[in-house]
Amino acid sequence: FHFPCAILASNAYYLIPHPEIINSVELPKFVLCLGRWMHNVLFFLLSTSRNFSLHREAFVVNETPVFMNKPPPHVFKLMSLPSMIIKLTLGLLWCIIHLAISLLSLCSHLIFNLECSLISSGLLWKYRNLQLGRLKYLAIVVDSREAKNTVKINQLLYWLKTLGVKYVCLYDIDGVLKKLFAPGMNGSRDNNPGDYLDASANIKALDCCQKQMTIECISGSDGKEGIAKAANLLCSSYLNGDSYTQENVKSEENVKSEENVENEPVFTETDMASALKSIGCAGPEPDLLLVYGPARCHLGFPTWRLRYTEIMHMGPLKSMKYGAIVKAFHNYSKKHQNYGK
């Protein structure tokens, strides 16, 4: 998408100084003037977007959005003609810009679909040998409205199984997936890969064709609310311990690990992690997160598991492609993490 940027800023592109020139403390004046000009143009253009319903069809219907934003009638009469014309022109310009972006994204989408079908048919040699060694845990975030489409979810899980993924964590913010998969998840705890699964009732082992894949379903309530519950646990155990010490003479045994000599609470990340584990909201940290939805948002995926996860956007669930998953895995295998170093 860098080439479309040039179209947008084509007038001003040659005016933008090379980054090394900006290395002085005082910004060149022309950049500030340019900024002010763009402020006047763009601020109006872009701020009117709040009142629009921006579905793609609306672009074709075009100018009606501008009129939807019109002020009350008595103010309307007071507005002068030139300013009205300016506003209409700016609104039109904004619509044209977004239309151009939509067309470009449509083109790139078509190219991407072509690439995916090539990958699926095995013609592109670099995607043939997938190295999944580093990918131990995979997570998928699905938009809750799309999550009701069980056919697609099952197909996705089947593809992942054939690719050899061992552990999949499905997430959606409203808990739709949990409800859909929960009936089949009774007492399948024999294949727990680790201690953290013991307290969780969300695991289901999918056993098929000698390839076993563990599926976990979590929802928004395991995210922020899970942290609130863990905080509650830590807090109440501290406060109860405190009131206990007030009843009796303070002895050495009553001082817990999270309290220091002055009886001040100090909770560390490790304390939170073990609290989360004890309420059943802990789980393995995914290496890769695939987001299925119109926009790349993680929609509240549990914080303690999202720290170093690579997040990749796959588009809406209804247009998911096998080739896209292969490409995502390939891109993941090329990534290198420093973990802060």
What is the closest distance, in whole angstroms, from the C-beta atom of residue 260 to other proteins in the complex? 12
Residue-by-residue DSSP string for 279-337: HT---PPPSEEEEESSS---TT--GGG-TT-EEEEEE-GGG--HHHHHHHHHHHHT---
Q: Is 13 in the site for other proteins (CB under 8 A)?
A: yes
What is the closest distance, in whole angstroms, from the C-beta atom of residue 53 to other proteins in the complex? 6
Give the burial string for 162-188 (b: 16+ CB within 10 Å, else e).
ebebbbbbbbbbbbbbbebbeeebeeb
Q: How many residues bind other proteins (CB under 8 A)?
A: 94
Q: What is the DSSP letter of 276?
A: H
Between CA 168 and CA 180 the distance in angstroms is: 16
Looking at 99, 163, 201, 272, which residue binds other proteins (CB under 8 A)? Answer: 272
Q: Is 323 in the site for other proteins (CB under 8 A)?
A: no
* DSSP E strand stretches across the chain: 138-142, 167-172, 203-208, 211-219, 288-292, 310-315
What is the closest distance, in whole angstroms, from the C-beta atom of residue 228 to other proteins in the complex? 5
Q: Pick the stretch among 31-39, 72-80, 111-119, 152-160 that binds other proteins (CB under 8 A).
A: 31-39
Looking at 42, 99, 124, 206, which residue binds other proteins (CB under 8 A)? Answer: 42
What is the closest distance, in whole angstroms, from the C-beta atom of residue 45 to other proteins in the complex? 9
Compare residues 184 and 294 and give the one whose CB is closer to other proteins: 294
Residues 64-103 that bind other proteins (CB under 8 A): 97-98, 101-102
What is the closest distance, in whole angstroms, from the C-beta atom of residue 62 to other proteins in the complex? 16
Of 122, 211, 218, 133, which Cα lies nearest the Cα of 174?
218
Q: Is 29 in the site for other proteins (CB under 8 A)?
A: no
What is the closest distance, in whole angstroms, from the C-beta atom of residue 185 to other proteins in the complex? 23
Looking at 117, 150, 212, 337, which residue binds other proteins (CB under 8 A)? Answer: 337
Q: Is 61 in the site for other proteins (CB under 8 A)?
A: no
Residues 178-217 that bind other proteins (CB under 8 A): none
Looking at 256, 284, 285, 310, which residue binds other proteins (CB under 8 A)? Answer: 310
- Phi first, then psi: what are they for 299, rounded to 5°? 50, 40
3-state secondary structure of 168: strand
Q: Quick one: CA dihedral 181, 186, 192, 194, positive or negative? A: positive
Q: Pick the stretch among 11-19, 108-116, 124-132, 182-190 that binds other proteins (CB under 8 A).
A: 11-19
Compare residues 48 and 192 and give the one whose CB is closer to other proteins: 48
Between CA 27 and CA 46 the distance in angstroms is: 25
Give the burial string for 264-290 (b: 16+ CB within 10 Å, else e).
eeeeeeebbeebbbebbbbbbbbbbbb
